Amino acid sequence: EAQVTQNPRYLITVTGKKLTVTCSQNMNHEYMSWYRQDPGLGLRQIYYSMNVEVTDKGDVPEGYKVSRKEKRNFPLILESPSPNQTSLYFCASSFEGVNQPQHFGDGTRLSIL
Amino acid sequence: AQKVTQAQTEISVVEKEDVTLDCVYETRDTTYYLFWYKQPPSGELVFLIRRNSFDEQNEISGRYSWNFQKSTSSFNFTITASQVVDSAVYFCALTPGRGYGNKLVFGAGTILRVKS
């Protein structure tokens, strides 16, 4: 089944404790991206990747890192999480770019205390 | 810069009513793409439609229809004869069409509640 898989689905952690949210897709998509969803703000793009080893900042990259060492994986790293990063996070992918429909993961709800 | 405005934060209707969700966008690009996504209460994001800036034809898919008007920079979404299953958050989104790797900008979303 074609899908985008995020882990974990839920995480409660404390300020400053490094965490990684994994994202994997099995559709051989070149384009992958991360979004955060906050009430009243919709989805905001954090980082995106056009292909392996090619990443770029979205609109809200501060406090986040990403890497794209393999085509199927695009982990989101919070090296020193803070409470303002408490949010619902979505990973998405598409075959070639952002001008195509995005396939979204089921979301990861992060709470930073 | 790109911007998407969904002025309706929340809409409540009774089943079988028609409802229109508004989307107004801003971009300086002549080539761009517009999208609508649905987020039901279960939380996943579901693609509904894509429209490019050169195609102003309205589209109908069952009870759903979309009205794209470049003159007013709007891409409105109408649900005819709404049903309880239409209850969801609906997002409008925009990306310039210069090529790959550009940003995708979402509106704040409209919560639609359909009551039986």
Give the per-residue pLDDT at B32. Answer: 92
A106 touches chain B (CB under 8 A): yes
**Would the CB atoms of A96 and B100 count as touching at under 8 Å?**
yes
Return the biggest CA–CA distance within chain A.
37
Residue of A6, A98, A104 for testing the chain B interface, max B β-carbons within 10 Å:
A98
B102 chain-A contacts, CB cut-off 8 A: 97-99
Smallest CA–CA distance, residue B94 to chain A, in Å, is 9
How many other β-carbons are positioned within 10 Å of the β-carbon of residue A65?
Answer: 14
* Nearest partner of B64 among B24, B112, B108, judged by Cα: B112
pLDDT tens-digit profile of A57-113? 999 999 999 999 999 999 999 999 999 999 999 999 999 888 899 999 999 999 999
A9 touches chain B (CB under 8 A): no
Give the per-residue pLDDT at B55. Answer: 85
How many other β-carbons are positioned within 10 Å of the β-carbon of residue B55?
Answer: 11
Strand order in the sheet with A65-66: A4-7, A19-25, A76-78, A65-66
Determine phi and psi for B79, rounding to 5 degrees. Answer: -110, 125
Asked if pLDDT for residue B100 goes beyond 70, the answer is: no
Asked if pLDDT for residue A21 goes beyond 80, the answer is: yes
